[in-house]
Every structure is written in C-alpha cells, then in structure tokens.
Structure 1
Amino acid sequence: MNDYFIYLSFIGIALVLSYITWQIFIFISSVPDEQRDYLDKPPFIFHILWFLIKPISFYITPFISKKNSERIEKKLIFAGKDFIFKVKDIIASKIVFSLTLLFISILLLEACELDLTYSIAFSIYGFIYPELWLRSEKLKRERIILREIPFFLDIIVLCVEAGLTFINAVDQAVNKSNQTPTRQEFSRLLADVKKGVPRSDALRKMSSRVEHASMQNLTSAIIQAESMGMNLGPILRGQAEQRRVERFLRAEKLALEAPVKMLFPLVAFIFPCTFIVIGFPLYVMMKDAFQ
C-alpha cells in the first residue's frame, strides 16, 4: 500500500512539473518575433538572459506607466543605449535579474547554510542593476565625449575655414573619425538634418541627448552664431579652446581629490599592516626583556 502511494505521488509530481513546463513553453513560444534589425546586439549579461527578457517585456508592456516609461527612456538616451534597448526591455530585465539572483543566491546560501535574508539583498540588487548599469554607461559616455569634442571641433574648424558649410564639415569629421559616442552624436545630427529637421532643432536635440553643460553651451553658441550670420570658424575655435580648458580643470580637480580618496584605504588597510610590521618585533623584544 505504501509503495502504491509513493508511485502515485511520483506520478502526480511528474504531471505537475510537466504541466508547469508546458505552460512555460506556451508562455515563451506565444511571443511574436521582434523586429531587431535596426537595433544593436545587447551586452553579454543581457544577451544570455534574453530568452526570458523578451517574453516578459511582451507581457508587461500594457502595465508600464507613461511616467515610468519617460523616465527610463531618458536614461536610455543619456546612456546612448536607445539603439539597443526599448523601455520595456529594461523593465523586463529588472524583473529577470531580480528573480535570477534570488534563485542563485538561495541555492548558494542553502549550500553554505547561511541566512536566507541575504537572498533578499541579492534580489534587490538584481532589480536595480539595469538602472545602475545605465547610469554607469551614461557617465562613461559623457567622459568620452568631453575628452574627444575639442579634437572633433578642430576638424570641423579646418573644414569650415577651407570653405565648407557647417554640415559638410561635420560630415567630413564624422567620416574621418573612429566609432565613438562623439561620432555617434554628430552622425545623428547629420541624419536629422537629412530628414528635413531644421539645423537649430537638430542641434538642440543633440544637446538634449548629452546631459552636460559643455555640450549645451556648444550648441547654443552655434545656433546663436548662425542666427546672427556670424562666421562659424572663430566661434568653433573658441569653443574648442574652452572645452580644452574645462578638461584641464576637471583633471586638476580629480588630482586634488585623489589624496582625500586615498585616505580611507590608507587608514583601513595600509596603516594597520605597517603598525603590525613595526610593532610585532617590538612586542617580542619587550616580552623577552621582561621575562
């Protein structure tokens, strides 16, 4: 009788697992194919979990609020990842990372016999990781643009002073530069102008995609010079020099902040080791002397 009950239990568990597996298969297979020909390939960590992110993003789309959608869309634009992800992909990745880290942490913590409350911390980190990653990419992108913009402007100045128009000069600078965020922004500027967007509006759109005062000052100066009919050569040369000065000031600021940032590692790690190396021989000598 007991063996019969065990067999029935195994059959029931197998049927339940089969039903759950079948429902998951239906959940994933019923998602229509997404047209990603115009989108770039996601980063590695997102790519390996894309088979989960894709169906979840499809099902949660009706529940995404407009406010939340606009907030994440701005972060995607500032990070330069709007050609990789949509808003629904980021929200779905928050859910997937949270559940994945929760599952992995439960397995590891159970194996190590630790408190399961750590799993909650891992799950929370997984939920906020996509937005932390977007913030990191935004800062990295801004640093690259601010570092490259003076040289980029120098190329545009040379072309403008050689007789080209501003748009043709930007086109030459884009064609002669490497694939960087700076080139990407000016390429989008050219694309907007070719689509019929007024030049001033295209410049404002470019400054809105880079949330930094330097880019906003640059675009404002170009728009004002064109509206007043001024020669763009001296304006752009002055902007390039100003960007170089700002870059030097940022480097000087970071150099002045370095000693303060090094204070905690010195106090927490280096000083204790130094005191141990110096104090232990003294302790041994004093111990021997008193004995």
Structure 2
Amino acid sequence: MSLAIAFLMSLGLVLFIGLMIMSLRMLTRRVPTEDREFLDPLSRYLRILWPLVRFIEFHFSRFYPAPLVKRVDAQLQLTGRRFLMSPTQFISLSIVSMAIAISIGCLIRNTLHSGSLLLPAISGAVGFFLPKIWLRDIRTRNVKLVNKHLPVYLDFLTLSMEAGLNMNGALAQAVTKGPAGPLRREFEHVLRDLKSGLTRSEALRRMDERLQVKEVTNFVSAVVQAERMGGGLSATLRFQSEQRRSERFQRAEKQAMEAPVKLIFPLVVFIFPMTFIVLGFPIVMKFLQEGLL
C-alpha cells in the first residue's frame, strides 16, 4: 500500500514538473522577438539575462507604475542608455537581478545552516538597486568625460569656423576628429537632428536636455543667443573654449587641494599606527630584555 502511495506521489510530482515546463515554454513562445538593428548592442552579461528580462517585461510590464517608468526613462536619457533598453526593460532587469540575488542569499543561508531571512532580504534589496547603482556610475563617468572633452570640441569648432566652415560643417569636423565618448555621441545626435529637419537651436537644446550638464547648458545658451542676436559664432565659441578650459584647470586645482584632506583618514587609521608599531617594537623588546618592563 505504501509503495502504491509513493508511486502515485512520484507520478504526480513528475506530471506537475512536466506541466510547469510546458507552461513556461508556452509563455516563452508568446514573447515576440526583439529587433535590435537600430539599438545599441548588449553586453555579454546582459545577453545572458536578456531572455528573462524580455519574459518579465512582456508579461508584467503593464503592472509597472507610470511614475516609476517615467522616472526610469529620464535616468536612461541622462546616461545615454535609452538606445540600449526601454524603461520597462530596465525595471524588468532590476527584478531579475533581485531574484538572482535572493537565490544567492538563500544558498548562502542554507550553506551556513541559518534560519534567518535577513540575508536573503538584504541580498534582494542589493540586487534590485544594483542596476540603479550602475546607471549612477555611468552618469558620473559621463559628466566627467563631457567636462574633459568639451574644451577640445570647442577648439575644433572654433578652428573650423575660423577656417571658413559653417556651424554644421564645423560640427561634422569635430565629430570626425574629436575624442570618442558621450559628448561625441551627442554631437552625432545633433547632426542627425539637423539632417532630419530640426533647426540648429532645437537640436542643441535637445542635446542639452539629454545631457543636463551645466557647462553644456552655458555653451548651448551662448550659441543660441549669438544666433538670435546676429553675433559672430567664432568669437563666441573661442570665448566658450577659453572659459571651459579655465574651469577645467580650476577643477584640477580644487582636486589637488582636496587630496591632503582625503589622505588624513588613511594616514591616521592605517599608516601612523603601523609606523608607531615598527618604531616602538624594538624599544619595547629592549626594555623587556633588560627587565625594565
């Protein structure tokens, strides 16, 4: 009798697992294929997780709050990752990351034979916010690169316009000769906007909205005002180039002045104690050998 019950339970478990696999396959087949011809290529790690991301996005994206989707869309625009994934795909990526982190936390908890749910909860929170931390790092790095490359591009624009090119030709020369980075991509977007029929002011303002960097805002405002007032663009660009270069030197001087302050903590916590130990150990050993301690 017990063997029959065990057989029926095993058969039921096998049927349940088979139905689950068939259901997942049917749900996976319903997910439409994604055309990424005009999108940025995925990294190696994203390609591994992308089927799960697409699965969750297709079946659950309609439940995402609209304010959250709008906020994520703004963050993707600022980091230049709007051509890599959509806001709903980013939220789905956060959910996949959270699920993987919870699984790792549960595995570690079982390995340690702990009954606490604190570790899986912390792991899940870290996994959910990990893509946001990734976006924040990209934003910080992009701002630094924009501030670093902006004087170079302004020099290219100034030299090209003083050589006789118009603004569009100067932008094309700057994109061809300038260093690679987020600013180059944004100037390429400006050229595409100009070719699509937008005015120069509108294209530059759209670049400013995408980047939201103070130095770029000053540059765009100066160019738009010079065009509106009929001023010389080459003189405006030269002044902007000198001002941006001066600001870059000031930032470098500020970072150099902040370096001693940042070194105080490692000096006090790590270097000074080890120095005192190295200097004091022979003295203490000498006193111990002579019986003075």
CA distance in 1, matches of 2:283, 2:19: 72
Matched with 1:185 is: 186
Compare 54-63 and 91-100 and name the one that shifted more: 54-63
SS at match of 1:48: helix
What is the aligned-residue RMSD (CA, Å)?
A: 1.8
Q: Is the 8 A contact 1:218 1:239 kept in 2?
A: yes
CA distance in 2, matches of 1:264, 1:58: 49
Matched with 2:141 is: 140
Matched with 1:286 is: 287
Q: CA deviation at 1:51?
A: 1.3
Q: CA deviation at 1:138?
A: 0.9
Matched with 2:19 is: 19
CA distance in 2, matches of 1:109, 1:119: 8
Matched with 2:72 is: 72
Q: Is the 8 A contact 2:156 2:178 kept in 1?
A: no
Q: CA deviation at 1:216?
A: 0.2
Q: Matches of residues 1-291 of structure 1 in structure 2 within 5 Å? A: 1-114=1-114, 115-288=116-289, 289-290=291-292
Q: CA deviation at 1:275?
A: 3.3
Q: CA deviation at 1:112?
A: 3.2
Compare 252-261 and 277-286 and name the one that shifted more: 277-286
CA distance in 2, matches of 1:30, 1:284: 77
Relative to structure 1, is the Cα distance of residues 216 and 19 closer, same or farther in structure 2, using a 3 angstrom cutoff?
A: same
Compare 225-234 and 22-31 and name the one that shifted more: 22-31
Q: CA deviation at 1:201?
A: 1.2
SS at match of 1:49: helix
Q: Is the 8 A contact 1:170 1:186 kept in 2?
A: yes
Q: CA deviation at 1:271?
A: 3.0
Q: CA deviation at 1:286?
A: 3.3
* Identity across matched positions, percent: 36
Q: Is the 8 A contact 2:152 2:178 kept in 1?
A: no
CA distance in 1, matches of 2:3, 2:268: 66
CA distance in 2, matches of 1:51, 1:38: 19
Compare 145-154 and 39-48 and name the one that shifted more: 39-48
Relative to structure 1, is the Cα distance of residues 140 and 280 closer, same or farther in structure 2, using a 3 angstrom cutoff?
A: same
Compare 178-187 and 220-229 and name the one that shifted more: 178-187
CA distance in 1, matches of 2:94, 2:28: 18
Return the letter of the residue paired with 2:38: Y
Unaligned residue ranges in structure 1 (runs of 5+)? none
Return the letter of the residue paired with 1:76: L
Question: Which digits, 9 at most, give the CA deviation of each residue in 1:114-168, with x for residues without a partner?
Answer: 5541221111011011111111101111111111111111111111111111111
Relative to structure 1, is the Cα distance of residues 281 and 23 closer, same or farther in structure 2, using a 3 angstrom cutoff?
A: farther
CA distance in 2, matches of 1:101, 1:283: 50
Compare 144-153 and 61-70 and name the one that shifted more: 61-70
Q: CA deviation at 1:290?
A: 4.4
Unaligned residue ranges in structure 2 (runs of 5+)? none
Question: Which digits, 9 at most, give the CA deviation of each residue in 1:164-199, with x for residues without a partner?
Answer: 111111012112234321111111111111111121
CA distance in 2, matches of 1:180, 1:108: 40
Return the letter of the residue paired with 1:287: L
Q: CA deviation at 1:63?
A: 2.1
Compare 220-229 and 16-25 and name the one that shifted more: 16-25
Return the letter of the residue paired with 2:177: K
Compare 256-265 and 241-250 and name the one that shifted more: 256-265
Compare 137-146 and 21-30 and name the one that shifted more: 21-30
Return the letter of the residue paired with 2:188: S
Q: Is the 8 A contact 1:94 1:130 kept in 2?
A: yes
Q: Is the 8 A contact 2:93 2:131 kept in 1?
A: yes
CA distance in 1, matches of 2:252, 2:205: 28
TM-score (norm 2): 0.93
Relative to structure 1, is the Cα distance of residues 260 and 3 closer, same or farther in structure 2, using a 3 angstrom cutoff?
A: farther
Q: Is the 8 A contact 1:60 1:88 kept in 2?
A: no
Compare 251-260 and 225-234 and name the one that shifted more: 251-260
Number of paired residues?
291
SS at match of 2:31: coil
Q: Is the 8 A contact 2:161 2:234 kept in 1?
A: yes
